Amino acid sequence: MSHAIVAKNLSLSYGSNKVISSASFAIDERDFVCIVGANGSGKSTLVKAILGLVKPSSGKISFGSGIEQKTIGFLPQDVKADLNFPATVFEIVLSGTLGRLGMKAFYRKEDKTRAEEALKRLGISKLRNASFVDLSGGQKQKVLLARALAATSKLLILDEPSNNLDYKSRKEFYGALKKLNESGLTIIMITHDLDAEDLIGNKVISIKEAKVECAPTADFLRSYK
C-alpha cells in the first residue's frame, strides 16, 4: 500500500507554545483516519499543517503520488462563506473546483463535470437547482461535502463535520463518508466523539500533551477503555 501522507519528526508551534512535538506517522492511500484529542490539543493545527496553512517549526510532511495541497478537498468546521447568499446547490458545489482554476478566469467543462459527479456520488443530484438556504441541516452538510469532493480525487479532510447534526443526519453523513472511502478516497476526519460508532475509520491519530500516536481503531479503543 502506498502512502498518502508521511509526517517525519514534525513539530508545530505558535510562538513559544509547542503544539505538536516530533511526530512521525504515515497515512496510507484508502485509509480513513479519525483525529482525536481534547480541545486545544492540536487537532486543527495538524490539519492546517497538512493543508499548508501552518509551517512546521521542524520536520516535514510529504505527500504521495498525485496529491497536492491545492487539490485536497477540505470541509472546515466553520464555513466562512455567507451561507445565506442566494446560491443554488450546483453553484455551491462548483465553487469547490476554484483551487484547480489557477490563472483561468472561468469554470471549464471539466470543472462542471466534477461538480455534477460529486452531486451524483452523494445522491443529491435532485437538489441541483435548489436554493442552498432552503435546505435542511443534513442536506446542507452533504452539499458542503460535495463541494469538498469536487476539489479532489485523492484526499478529503473534514473538521468535526457531524457538529450540529441530529442523530439520523449524522448516520446518513457517516454512511456517505464510508462509501467515498470504499471507492478509494483517503479521508482524514477530526472528531470529538470517542464512541465506537463515531470512530468510523480504520485508524486513529490521537494527540495528547503535544504527543501524537497513530494506531488501528480497534487498538485505540482497547487502550482508551
Tens digit of each residue's pLDDT (9 = 90 or more) over 160-216: 998 878 888 889 999 999 999 999 999 999 998 777 777 999 999 999 999 999 999
Q: How far is CA 191 from the centre of its chain?
A: 11
Q: Is the pLDDT of residue 145 over 90?
A: yes
Closest CA to 20 of 51, 44, 52, 53: 44
> What is the chain's mean pLDDT, rounded?
89
Confidence of residue 97 (pLDDT cuts 50, 70, 90): confident
Range of the domain at 76: 31-53+68-224
Residue 22 lies in a domain: no
Based on the structure, what is the number of domains in the chain? 1
Could you tell me if residue 4 is inside a domain?
no
Q: What value does the mean pLDDT take over residues 60-72?
A: 90
82 has pLDDT over 90: no
Report pTM: 0.91
- Give percent of the chain above pLDDT 70: 93
- Domain of 177: which CATH number? 3.40.50.300
* Residue 58 domain-assigned (yes or no): no
DSSP label at residue 203: E
pLDDT for 83: 59
Residue 37 has pLDDT above 70, yes or no: yes
pLDDT at position 130: 95
Looking at residue 105, its pLDDT comes to 65
Is the pLDDT score of 100 beyond 80? Answer: no
Q: Which of 77, 64, 118, 68 is CA-nearest to residue 96? A: 118
3-state SS class at 210: coil
Query: Does residue 87 form part of some domain?
Result: yes
> What phi, psi does 93 have (nearest 5°)?
-65, -40
Could you tell me if residue 16 is inside a domain?
no
Comparing C-alpha atoms, which of 154, 174, 150 is closest to residue 162? Answer: 174
Top-ranked range on mean pLDDT: pick from 8-17, 25-34, 71-80: 25-34
Is residue 23 situated within a structural domain? no
Q: Answer whether residue 17 is part of any domain.
A: no
- At 103, the pLDDT band (50, 70, 90 cuts) reads low
The DSSP element (H or E) to which 141 belongs, if any, is: helix 137-150
Q: Judge whether 38 lies within some domain.
A: yes
81: pLDDT strictly greater than 80? no
- pLDDT confidence of 108, banded at 50, 70, 90? confident
pLDDT at 73: 94
Greater pLDDT, 146 or 16:
146
